[in-house]
A and B are shown apart, each in its own frame.
Chain A
Amino acid sequence: MTTESTTLPPRLRILVLDDEPIVCKRLKPIFQKSGYEVETFNSSAKALERLKDHAFDIVVTDLKMEGADGMQVLDKALESSPRTRVIIITGFATLETAKESFRKGAFDFVAKPFKLGDIIDCVRRIETELRAAPTDQG
């Protein structure tokens, strides 16, 4: 039996979805380096497919995309796993879309372009919150 002090908490799993590959390309290594497991998607259909059979701790999603948009991804992600925290990233930030994302349960709303440091901070805040919260998975 291992004790608390020697067991490391499992790495958080992050799904990144943006139809512009550059965003995934930039975010993947920075999240990996910070100690997270990352999967990236350029199409919301594929990401939704993945969300069906796999729970992620954090979903970072673009808002405007072909097919299902970020709001739908937000809904689906929370539907299949209420513990999941969703960060919306968008280049079309308006007060309305920000309000709507929060109303639908987004953890944060980040306007593009954003600093790598800011998104890492955001993820760290989620990590602290998730680690503090009791989990039903034990």
Chain B
Amino acid sequence: MNIRRVFASWRHGTRQLPFAVQFKKFQNILERNNRVLELMADMGDKLGGEYVFDRHYIEQITERLGAQVFQLISDLSVLSQRKNVDLFQAFEHIRHQLEQELAGHPPVSGYDYVLPLEAIGAEQAEQAGSKVAHLGEARARLSLTVPDGFVVTTRAFFDFMNQEGLLQRAADAMEAWDGSDETLRELAADMRRRILSAPLPRGLAKKIQIRTDRLLKGRPNGTQLAVRSSAWHEDGESSFAGQYASILGIGRDGVLDAYREVVASAYSATAWRYRVLRGFREHEVAMAVGVQILLDGEVSGVLHTYAPHVAEGVMALGMVRGQCAAVVDGSAPVQTLTLDRVPPHAVLAAPPEDALLAPAQLRELAEAAMALERYAKRPQDIEWTFDRQGRLVILQARPLRFWAAPDTAEPDVVEATRDAEIIFSGHGHIAQRGLAAGPVRVVRTDKDLDTFPDGTILVARHTSPRYSRVMRKARGIITDIGSPTGHMATIAREFRVPALVGAEVATRLLRDGDEITLDCSQGVVYRGRIRALDRFELTEAEVFEDTYEYRLLRRLLAHIAPLNLIDPSSESFAPHACRTYHDITRYIHENAIRELIALSERHGDQHHSTPKRLITTIPLGLVVIDGGDGATCLPDARAVRVEDIACPLFKDFVIGIDCGMWRTDPVPVNLGSFMSSLTRTFSSALAAPDQIGRNLAVVLPNYMNLNMRLGYHFNIINAYVCDEINDNYIYFRFMGGVTEFIRRSRRAKFLAEILERFDFRVEIHGDLVVGRVKKLDTARMARRMRMLGALVGYARQLDARMHSEDDVRHHVQTFLHATRELCGGEHDHGIDDPSAPAAHPCSR
């Protein structure tokens, strides 16, 4: 891709392109913008696990996305006849980061020596090591309490080890190793000596000290710290249990020495031998080091969420009074218990008289443990403690692996599923893969969420992001209606809750309390708990969410999908603030509209007419550009009346926005505030149309393109009608908003329901609602334009009013009722009635 080529044909003062050509460019931008959003949604969907994808897919889609975004900037450059160097720079920066990610070198930015636990999730596993990354996830996703702390990253490790060539030395030594224990011991002793005496890289010691002081601030004197290994692959396929050092009970001044000590433990003879046996290469060694507050535990212990060697369907618990170390190293007598894996997690043998934990504590622990297992999709080996305040703190959680199939007389997975009753299969889409076995809980209202029991499977009519409240408790989710690209699907993926959406028949076939097994890799719901399936999933060789490809996709998306540029009136709405591809597309879209107005201004008298302010009873702040025969007023007029517009589509739209809304006055919607917010947004700009740059309509006799920003939402309507019915279409797009996720999504749902009533094919991707309707005759298209006018106005003031899910229903009804006459009563029956008069209350 050559930026110069794009500008090669440009010289200052070159002849301007005809408006039609520029307008085409503008349309290209809109189309490309959609393609970018679709590619982004496609990548997001792949995280759900329904698809098999490979590295080639990841590379290819990243490249395609990059090419589209680059082209988008080029299109804007043609349109604006500016070089947009800063945009290209922002683009190159993002692309470089993506390339680095793809090449396996996470970008240097955000790849610090030291990271606080709050900044760590699974995406940071390369920097923070797996152990600390797991704790970060448990804290962030599952709201579990973990010890406060920070991590000295693998970047620090590499710089530390490379400074005196120690990594190379280790690699060379292993290359030359003769295989004898004695040589290995000598090598290990030499490495250890060198590591303990090596200087820390510039700035590292200071950073660790500052973080340590911050960690200890406000805590009692004598608070002790734990310094723990968090290496690559530790807790992965190989457990490395006990191979690397953890140093407990040190004070502020001991941290740096402890750091070196933990790093050196990566090169102990036993660790080295372990790696050789398991086939690890030297370049796969990287040691991050966690520094945590050492908790004063009242009762501590270890829990295995799955213990088939004890009994099928149980978890095993070992605990001591005091700190956890005694359980792990076996230095104190341990009290053991067996709990049912199934809620309410009953104690399976008579508890000892001197039980260390109360029943409520046991249950809290068991629920937290199962939440960790559900999230990791793998049985867990958990170190935990109840501190002096009675808080449950998770010290460590790592996958529990079974090298041999558990010895069991139970049927295997194939026999078990063959004999099981299938309640339904072949319905719906998988939003998040996985397996869930448990009782059904049907959710109908918000109240049902308040009492949602832990470990049950949520069954509901519709998907809803308000279910995020119970994501930690839900074992699985099944809905009759919903899309795998909707908000709830995104949340289910974040929490990794197996979710089947759009299953149509779920609420009809499932009742509260039914015991079922939901298999979200095949899309089957079985009657009863199928333990063999559960066991099969728990002992699977590798969990999809742990694969490199999954993590890579998630890391790439972090440079692509988040939207940081929200408010176009803010100063940070600028190229230099574009941190993701989404930001760039948003910026370009906003500016393309601004450009088109400016362009039309410049062309002015020479080619076509001047941009014109539309005169309406409602001050819409709408600028109209006549693309050719679209208006009957004088070409240089600065204002135009609705009746002078020669585009029936646009006229219908304005009728909708104007009359429809005023007519809804009696319904409990505060139109005053709606209109005042409209006026407020644009009043200052009304005097100078070229500075509005937001609300723009391009009209031709049978075409209109509308770009409208109301508050923080963006609306695009693109429509074409002619006598050839097959060419007719309306494209509607609604995006954005700064209210909280749930309200935005309620509004999206409202829009979707209305649009669907009017035969639009609707897609919801996150913030974006897209509706398309095609091939209807002119009269029906006209009624839909009127409806859209009313809808755009109505939706503007809705975000703040969507207090509950019931409001969606209510507003759908209110809107349909209020626009009944305006839209010719079509939606009453869900079908067109050609005989119905297309009358609206205020035809002029």
Q: In the complex, which residue of chain A has the Cβ closest to the Cβ of B549?
A: A22
Residues of B within 8 A of A35 (CB): 414, 417-418
* Interface flags, B398-421, vs A, CB<8A=1, else 0: 000000000000000110011000
Complex Cα spacing A33 to B414, Å: 6
Bound-state Cα–Cα, A51 to B55, Å: 26
Give chain A residues whose Cβ lies under 8 Å from the Cβ of B56. 20, 91-92, 112
Measured in the bound complex, the distance between the Cα atoms of B56 and A115 in whole Å is: 16
Q: Is B523 in contact with A113, judged by CB distance below 8 angstroms?
A: no
A94-115 near B? 1/0 per residue, CB < 8 Å? 0000000000000000001111
**Chain A residue contacts of B7, Cβ below 8 A:** none
- Which residue in A23, A29, A115 is a CB contact (below 8 Å) of B50? A115
Q: Is the CB of A25 within 8 A of B521?
A: no
Mark the stretch among A71-79, A116-124, A128-136 that contacts chain B. A116-124
Instruction: Count contacts between A and B, CB distance < 8 Å.
Output: 74
Of A11, A18, A27, A120, the residue contacting B522 (CB under 8 A) is: A120
Stretch at the interface among B536-544, B674-682, B809-817: B536-544
Binary B-proximity of A26-47 (CB < 8 A = 1, otherwise 0): 1111101111000000000000
A117 and B540 contacting across the interface, CB-CB below 8 Å: no
Is B51 in contact with A114, judged by CB distance below 8 angstroms? yes
Contact code string B405-448 (vs A, CB < 8 Å = 1, else 0): 00000000110011000000000001001000000000000000
B29-66 CB mask vs A (1 if < 8 Å, else 0) is 00000000000000000100011111111001000000
Which of A26, A33, A92 is in CB contact (< 8 Å) with B52? A26
- Minimum Cβ distance to chain B for residue A6 (Å): 14
Chain A residue at minimal CB-CB distance from B540: A29
Interface membership of B533, Cβ < 8 A: yes
**How far is A25 from B522 in the complex, measured between Cα atoms in Å?**
16
Answer whether residue B547 sits at the interface, using C-beta atoms and an 8 A cutoff.
Answer: yes
* Chain A interfacial residues counted at CB < 8 A: 25
A33, A91, A114, A117: which contacts B60 (Cβ < 8 A)?
A91
Chain A hits for B433, CB < 8 A: 116
Q: Is the CB of B533 within 8 A of A25?
A: no
B541 touches A113 (CB 8 A): no
Give residues 279-296 of B contacting A (CB, 8 Å).
none
Q: List chain A residues, Cβ under 8 A from B55.
A: 20, 22
Task: Choose one: A11, A32, A116; the contact of B51 (CB below 8 Å).
Answer: A116
Q: How far is the CB of B433 from chain A (nearest CB, A)?
A: 8
CB < 8 Å neighbour of B54 from A11, A30, A112: A112
Residue on A nearest B523 in the bound complex, by CB:
A117
B547 touches A33 (CB 8 A): no
- How far in angstroms is the closest Cβ of chain B from A57? 16
Q: Is the interface of A mostly helix, strand, loop or mixed?
A: helix
A115 near B547 (CB under 8 angstroms)? no
Report which of B50, B414, B544 forms a contact with A117, defined as CB distance below 8 A: B50
Known: A112-B56, A114-B51. A33 touches B522 (CB 8 A): yes
- B547 pairs with A30, CB closer than 8 A: no
Given contacts A30-B522, A91-B60, A113 and B413 within 8 Å (CB-CB) = no
Known: A26-B544, A116-B521. Is A33-B54 also a contact (CB below 8 A)?
no
Q: B51 to A22, Cβ gap below 8 A?
A: no
CA distance A27 to B533 in the complex (A): 16
- Residue of B with least CB distance to A25: B542
Residue of A nearest to B51 (CB): A113
Interface pair B52/A116, CB less than 8 Å apart: yes
* Contact present for A29 and B54 (CB under 8 Å): no
Most chain A CB within 10 A, of B52, B536, B540, B549, is at B52
A117 to B413, CA, bound (A): 18
Q: Which residue of B lies closest to A27 (CB)?
A: B52
Q: A25-B542, A33-B522, A35-B414 known; A116 and B54 CB under 8 Å?
A: no
In the bound assembly, the distance between CA atoms of A92 and B521 in angstroms comes to 25
Given contacts A22-B549, A25-B547, A91-B60, contact A116 B522 (CB under 8 A): yes
Q: A29-B540, A33-B413 are in contact. Are A22 and B521 (CB under 8 A)?
A: no
Q: Which residues of B contact A34 (CB under 8 A)?
A: 414, 522
Are A113 and B60 in contact, CB atoms less than 8 angstroms apart?
no
Bound form: Cα–Cα A91–B61 in Å:
11
What are the residues of chain B within 8 A of A28 when measuring CB–CB? 541
Which residues in B have their C-beta under 8 angstroms from that of A30? 521-522
Counting chain A CB atoms within 10 Å of each CB, the highest count among B51, B60, B533, B536 belongs to: B51
| CB–CB B541/A29 < 8 A | yes
Collect the chain A residues with CB atoms within 8 Å of residue B430's CB.
115, 117
CA distance A5 to B519 in the complex (A): 28
Contact A18 B542 (CB under 8 A): no
Are B414's CB and A22's CB within 8 A?
no
Q: A25-B547, A29-B540 are in contact. Are A117 and B522 (CB under 8 A)?
A: yes
The answer to whether B52 and A113 touch across the interface, beta carbons within 8 angstroms, is yes
CB < 8 Å: which of B50, B54, B523, B542 contacts A91? B54
In the assembled complex, the CB of A32 is this many whole angstroms from the nearest CB of chain B, namely 7
Chain A residues, CB < 8 A from B540:
29
Write out the residue numbers on chain A whose beta carbons fall within 8 Å of the beta carbon of B50.
115-117
Contact A22 B536 (CB under 8 A): no
- A116: B residues at CB distance < 8 A: 50-52, 433, 521-522
Distance between Cα atoms of A92 and B60 in the complex (Å): 10
Interfacial chain B residues near A112, Cβ < 8 Å: 52-54, 56-57
The answer on a CB contact under 8 Å between A33 and B51 is no
Given contacts A34-B522, A113-B46, contact A20 B541 (CB under 8 A): no
In contact, A22 and B54 (Cβ under 8 angstroms)? yes
Alpha-carbon gap, A28 to B522, bound state (A) = 14
Q: How close is B494's CB to chain A, nearest CB, in angstroms?
A: 21
Does the CB pair A33–B53 fall under 8 Å? no
Most-contacted residue by chain B among A18, A25, A119, A120 (CB, 10 A): A25
CB distance from A91 to the nearest CB of B (A): 4
Q: How far is the CB of A40 from chain B (nearest CB, A)?
A: 10
Q: Roughly how many angstroms separate A22 CA and B413 CA in the complex, as a whole number?
A: 23
Residue of B nearest to A22 (CB): B549
Report B156-177 CB contacts with A as 1/0, cut-off 8 Å. Answer: 0000000000000000000000
Report chain A residues within 8 Å CB of B60: 91
Additional pairs, 12, CB under 8 Å, beyond known A18-B54, A26-B544, A32-B536: A20-B54, A22-B52, A34-B414, A35-B414, A112-B53, A112-B57, A113-B52, A114-B52, A115-B50, A116-B52, A117-B50, A117-B522
Interface on A for B, CB 8 Å cutoff? 11, 18, 20, 22-23, 25-30, 32-35, 91-92, 112-117, 119-120
Contact sample, A vs B, 9 pairs, CB 8 Å cutoff: A22-B548, A29-B541, A112-B53, A113-B46, A113-B52, A113-B53, A113-B57, A115-B51, A115-B52
